[in-house]
Amino acid sequence: MSDTAKYDVSIDEHRLDKEWVEQPERYHVVAREQADAQSKVDLAKSRVEFVKGKLYKEIAAQPQDFGLAKATEASVNAAIATHPEYVKAVEEAHEAKHRAHILTTVVTAFDQRKRALEKLVDLKLADYFSQPTAKSDNKEAVKEMEEDVRLRRRRRRREGATKK
User: What does the pLDDT read at residue 157?
Assistant: 82
Ranges of each domain in the chain: 3-130, 132-164
12/55 Cα distance (integer angstroms)? 55
143/129 Cα distance (integer angstroms)? 19
Question: Which of 90-94, 109-113, 145-149 shows the lowest mean pLDDT across its residues?
Answer: 145-149
- Comparing CA positions, the residue from 54, 51, 89, 48 lying closest to residue 62 is 54
Residues 12-54: tens digit of each pLDDT: 988 999 999 999 999 999 999 999 999 999 999 999 999 999 9
User: What does the pLDDT read at residue 3?
Assistant: 64
- Using DSSP, state whether 94 is helix, strand or coil: helix
Is the whole-model pTM more than 0.85?
A: no
Region 121-134: mean pLDDT is: 77
